[in-house]
Structure 1
């Protein structure tokens, strides 16, 4: 019997990309796919293609258990709840419990690189706690530890290009940026594979870069020079607060730099290409393709 595949957070960028790859790349029949979201109306286009759309709210455990009914393989895409510390962990543990209650045969989850205790990233405990709950559930599982997306650069590069200055505390640490769509293809492959053994994959881009190296690539693509200015974590936090960022957000962003500095985000693997069966987009290719967006 063909397995039914469920994707949470299907109206988000990663969730939509995963479902598109299930349909278009791996030719999974739409009738075997369930897409869940808090806002089903936003997935009318998927419903029109034959995908089953169900309402599911991570703050409503009963809705999760109901939505997961009949699903053989469930992909839990980590929520974007960052405003309240620990809230995301609470939501995700509810999803794991709902999967067990619904009799899900295989559970898949999107985590982050190296989330073990000691990671400087402030939301690492959310991922670590969820991974531990999945393992304790006894459900066979696949954990995808997603590296930083190329697209995350859009959050700061336009301002960096406008000022000509890139303030950081990452030192000579490296980040293995990966294109979101590449990682989505790998995740979709894992979801569609039918593999029933438990595995953990770290999904990265094909190369890791220092801030100076990324700045040099951006300058090469845009023609605009960037001066990288290294600061302490404390000075960078204060600078972000002075620029108008709330302190919790500033501290969260600086924690990424701290993790980069100590090597927590620099691992490079070939898991994306092995799972997806396609060559990953390089960071330079990504920047060239999105040159217009960088100057927005």
Structure 2
């Protein structure tokens, strides 16, 4: 298999991890890998290993088309743009899909989220759903990875909960199977390098789904720090986050995660990570144990 594999957003955490797995886990020849970014200087280490580095700006159609030329399989990692009012991220993704078609890409891969359909409470779910629809409409064979919530996302809430002894949430008894970012990257890299030509959608999750109360109990077990879970309404949680200094535009996005959890739309557990990568995913307890010092502070 000599297909050329391209990864967008290669200077980000997920992009770098995917390329690491391509080169070091799967032993893909660097000459077959293209890494794109807005800031090529950030990827000097990959260039030194023989990876082709190209500039790609999701706000510039010409730069994307040029970057994608000669790439057989292109992984579009969703951008970090969360301009919900103007739909900027969806426009960026649609531009990338159009560029892939123009460049003659043979297989398109994309990092989405679980259950992004229009009924999703997650405020940016429409970006992912719209991108999935654009990919399907392009006629390019595709692989969609619906990435579950990262274990690393718990760094946003756990340190404060541990320090204060209180975890404020509106998730009720909803469950999430948090997965390690690196495990998802390994699965995505395997899918990118697989040469598979059929269209497929995979939902990537950790090995077990937990409620907030169960996560708190795990954290207490590992750290010895008791945490009281305080259930709030979405409105009260939003106001509390804003009072704690979370930007007014971002607080509703965070709360929408809890709304989504409470609704049961992210409680699935799949074996897709192990199926794709051949590796058992890290458990939540292993994540907490490995990051105990950082979480306790």
TM-score bucket of the superposed structures, by smaller chain: over 0.9
Counterpart for residue 185 of structure 1: 186
> Is 1:13 equivalent to 2:13 in the alignment?
yes
Q: RMSD between aligned alpha carbons? A: 0.8
Cα distance in 1, alignment partners of residues 267 and 294 from structure 2: 25
Cα distance in 1, alignment partners of residues 174 and 84 from structure 2: 28
Cα distance in 1, alignment partners of residues 134 and 106 from structure 2: 16
Structure 1 unaligned blocks of 5 or more: none
Map 1:79-94 → 2, pairs under 5 A: 79-85=79-85, 86-94=87-95
Counterpart for residue 210 of structure 1: 211
Range moving further from structure 2, 175-184 or 286-295: 286-295
Please report how far the alpha carbon of residue 295 of structure 1 lies from its aligned counterpart in structure 2 after TM superposition: 1.9
Runs of 4+ in 1 over 2 A off after TM superposition: none
Please report how far the alpha carbon of residue 202 of structure 1 lies from its aligned counterpart in structure 2 after TM superposition: 0.3
- 8 Å contact 2:83–2:89 — kept in the other structure? no
Cα distance in 2, alignment partners of residues 67 and 47 from structure 1: 15
In the comparison of the two structures, how many residue pairs are matched?
296
Cα distance in 1, alignment partners of residues 88 and 245 from structure 2: 24
Cα distance in 1, alignment partners of residues 294 and 91 from structure 2: 35
Map 1:52-131 → 2, pairs under 5 A: 52-85=52-85, 86-131=87-132
SS at match of 2:250: helix
SS at match of 1:167: strand
Map 1:26-37 → 2, pairs under 5 A: 26-37=26-37
Structure 2 unaligned blocks of 5 or more: none
Please report how far the alpha carbon of residue 84 of structure 1 lies from its aligned counterpart in structure 2 after TM superposition: 4.2
SS at match of 2:81: coil
Map 1:150-161 → 2, pairs under 5 A: 150-161=151-162
Please report how far the alpha carbon of residue 83 of structure 1 lies from its aligned counterpart in structure 2 after TM superposition: 3.7
SS at match of 2:176: coil
Please report how far the alpha carbon of residue 284 of structure 1 lies from its aligned counterpart in structure 2 after TM superposition: 0.2
Counterpart for residue 278 of structure 1: 279
Cα distance in 2, alignment partners of residues 6 and 295 from structure 1: 38
Counterpart for residue 196 of structure 1: 197
Please report how far the alpha carbon of residue 87 of structure 1 lies from its aligned counterpart in structure 2 after TM superposition: 1.1
Counterpart for residue 149 of structure 2: 148
Deviations 1:229-286 (A, max 9, x none): 0000001001111111122210000000000001111111000001000111100001
- 8 Å contact 2:84–2:124 — kept in the other structure? no
Please report how far the alpha carbon of residue 80 of structure 1 lies from its aligned counterpart in structure 2 after TM superposition: 0.6
Deviations 1:175-197 (A, max 9, x none): 11000000000000000000000
Cα distance in 2, alignment partners of residues 96 and 122 from structure 1: 22
SS at match of 2:172: coil
Cα distance in 2, alignment partners of residues 90 and 159 from structure 1: 35
